[in-house]
Amino acid sequence: MFSLLPTLVFLTSWLASVLTCADTSDLVPLWRAYNGGVVDHFYTTNVTEMESALTQDGYSLEGSSAYVWTTQETGTTPLYRLFNQDKNDHFYTMSNDEIAEMLSAGWAYDTTPIAGYVYPFSICGAAPIYRMFNPTAVDHFYTMDIAEGEAASGYVNQGIAGYAVLPSVDGSAVVSSPTPYLLPSTVTASSASEATTSSCATTGDAIPLLRAYSSIGTDHFYTTNSSEMSNAVAVDAYTFEGDATFLWATQETNTVPLYRMFNQNVHRPLLHHRCQRSKRRL
Ligand SMILES: *[C@@H]1O[C@H](CO)[C@@H](O)[C@H](O)[C@H]1NC(C)=O
Ligand SMILES: *[C@@H]1O[C@H](CO)[C@@H](O)[C@H](O)[C@H]1NC(C)=O
């Protein structure tokens, strides 16, 4: 009986740390501006810097692109800012691997090397910031509106730059997204992880593994099936928590099945899937 206590204490503190979110009242807008002359999208939380880009450098304000933190809070990670002077391109990433690659390709840390702090995963209601790239003009364009990104002519989807809080039409932060964010089938991984060989699965086929949590049943639930996720939220009182990861719906090169099981006795029977062999592959 008492020997169980350390485990329970550990589990409780682990759950508490997993469920802690950054303070949404500290969020600030990440302003977006565009310069069609040099073809560059520029993002900053610094209003003074944005004003000088507008008045001196030929940029036009395009509003707030996302809400981010200016200091590192629980669960957040730096969104680094790099600049390529020859190509006139601002580049933002949270990937250290990518920074090394971009530094060797002509980009350097910008005057402000950190644009803000974002979540590395879709947690706490945060949604993806998509990164688009125009290889002809050499411009990286970031948007949380996938429809806008997909409509941008000459740009290809390079994946996710980070997870932030959505901007809304009236300028107030939308702190959680009510619907799952599904990536289009054309999505590709970041350039750093794009070095595919014949032994890699096709990244373009990867789809989001959606995550939800039920505090009533104390259960985390994951599925790639958005209808099933909608049911879990609508019928079984789960709260949608975003994309947990990306995986394949069918078995591709070097992938193995990720099985799914359910214990009806430990968790309240909110869902009716038990010991069901999943078709998902990882
Ligand atoms: C904001 O930008 C101005 C002008 O570039 C700069 O002088 C100032 O240090 C920046 N403030 C912060 C907090 O980075
Ligand atoms: C997705 O979930 C719905 C509702 O649970 C189910 O009817 C459907 O068969 C599922 N689709 C796939 C491809 O598993």
3-state secondary structure string across 45-94: CCHHHHHHHHHHCCCEEEEEEEEEECCCCCCCEEEEEEEECCCCEEEEEC
Co-location of 135 and 23 in the same domain: yes
Is 226 part of any domain?
Answer: yes
Is residue 102 over pLDDT 90? Answer: yes
CB 27 within 8 A of CB 69: yes
Task: Using CB atoms within 10 Å of the CB of residue 65, give its burial: 0 to 12 exposed, 13 to 18 middle, 19+ buried.
Answer: buried
Report if pTM > 0.85: no
| Residue range 62-88, pLDDT digits in tens | 988 899 999 999 889 999 999 999 999
Co-location of 156 and 118 in the same domain: yes
Which atom, in ligand 2's list, is nearest to the CA of 225? 1
DSSP letter assigned to residue 147: H
Co-location of 126 and 246 in the same domain: no
Instruction: Report which of 265, 87, 63 is spatially closest to residue 144, judged by C-alpha positions.
Output: 63
Q: Which of 222, 223, 224, 228 has the most ligand 2 atoms within 8 A of CB, as the residue to mutate? A: 228
Q: Is the CB of 150 under 6 A from ligand 1?
A: no
Total number of domains constituting the chain:
2
Mean pLDDT for the chain overall: 79
Laid out side by side, the sheet with 108-118 consists of: 89-93, 77-84, 108-118
What is the mean pLDDT of the segment spanning 48-65? Answer: 92
Is 194 part of any domain?
Answer: no
Is 20 part of any domain?
Answer: yes
Co-location of 236 and 147 in the same domain: no
Q: Is the CB of 254 under 6 A from ligand 2?
A: no
Task: Give just the sign of the alpha carbon dihedral 134, 135, 136, 140.
Answer: positive
Is 190 part of any domain?
Answer: no
Is 197 part of any domain?
Answer: no
Co-location of 216 and 156 in the same domain: no
Last residue of a domain, which of 174, 193, 226? 174
Between residues 167 and 57, the one the model is more confident about: 57
Is 192 part of any domain?
Answer: no
Last residue of a domain, which of 155, 174, 193? 174
What distance in angstroms lies between residue 158's CA and the mean position of ligand 2's atoms? 29
Domain range for residue 107? 5-174
> Which tokens hold the place of 29?
């807008």
> Which tokens hold the place of 159?
């994946």
| Residue range 224-266, pLDDT digits in tens | 888 898 899 999 899 888 888 888 888 887 777 888 888 877 6
Q: Is the CB of 278 under 6 A from ligand 2?
A: no
Co-location of 65 and 126 in the same domain: yes
